[in-house]
Amino acid sequence: MEMNVQHQQPLQGKVALVFGGSRGIGEAIVRRLATDGASVALTYVTSSERAAETVRAAGAEGVELLAIRADSQDVQAIKGAVEQTIQRFRRLDIVVVNAGLLMRGAIDAFSLADFDRMVEVNVRGVFAALHYAAPQMEDGGRIITIGSNTAIRTGFTGSSVYSMTKAAVAVLVRGVAIDLAPRRITVNNVQPGPTATDMTAGHADLVKPLIPLGRLGEPAEIAGLVAYLAGEEAAFITGASVTIDGGYVA
């Protein structure tokens, strides 16, 4: 029986750019998009070895990959990542903004310097990625930001600034979805809860009792939702924030 390759690789022929794609959730997203047939550019900051490993592993799917060093605190680096993607692949269909920064601290102890840095990466960096990528994207493209369920429920002391930045992204997505709707570019926000990555290492026992399903999420599960939103079946979903957290905010 002849296999339906297009069905197995729903993103065949598409080009994706994943900001923050060298490890954790970002790495899982890169691998899933590659499995679904997309060529993928990914950015990293310091994890050059991890980025190279992600490229090697995802490249086994038979698609092209490109690792770009770009700090999401630097808007020119963000612009450069978009330009390098276009130069290499000649098109851009899917943009995933996963790069983010987490710092905790009570409001009376959280420094203004740390506040500025968090806003620069988590809000300004997301805006810049969308600002520079949108004009280069094909009509009917997909933009997906990776937010956090802390936009709905903070849950822990010292998380106020992080939660604020993630709530800002959720609001930004709603407006950008309207801006880009005439071009059929959908814009959605995925809000993971506690997920088994380097960021949650050592905190699993503290968090698990708060999750009705009794476990942390897996990066591959977040990537699966991103892949769905990047595909044709999600063409009528835009301006949405989709929470995937095992019932944490239920």
Burial class (CB in 10 A: 0-12, 13-18, 19+), 174: middle
Give dist(CA 212, CA 108) in Å, integer: 32
Structure-token pair, residue 83: 């330009």
Give dist(CA 60, CA 238) in Å, integer: 32
- Determine how many CB atoms are found less than 10 A away from the CB of residue 5: 9
Query: Is 162 part of the annotated catalytic residue set?
Result: yes
DSSP 147-179: --GGGT---STT-HHHHHHHHHHHHHHHHHHHH
Give dist(CA 247, CA 250) in Å, integer: 5
Instruction: Tell me which of 44, 132, 162, 228 is the catalytic residue.
Output: 162
Give dist(CA 54, CA 97) in Å, integer: 17
Give dist(CA 63, CA 171) in Å, integer: 34
Q: Which of 147, 144, 123, 16 is nearest to 73 (CA)?
A: 123
Active site residues: 162
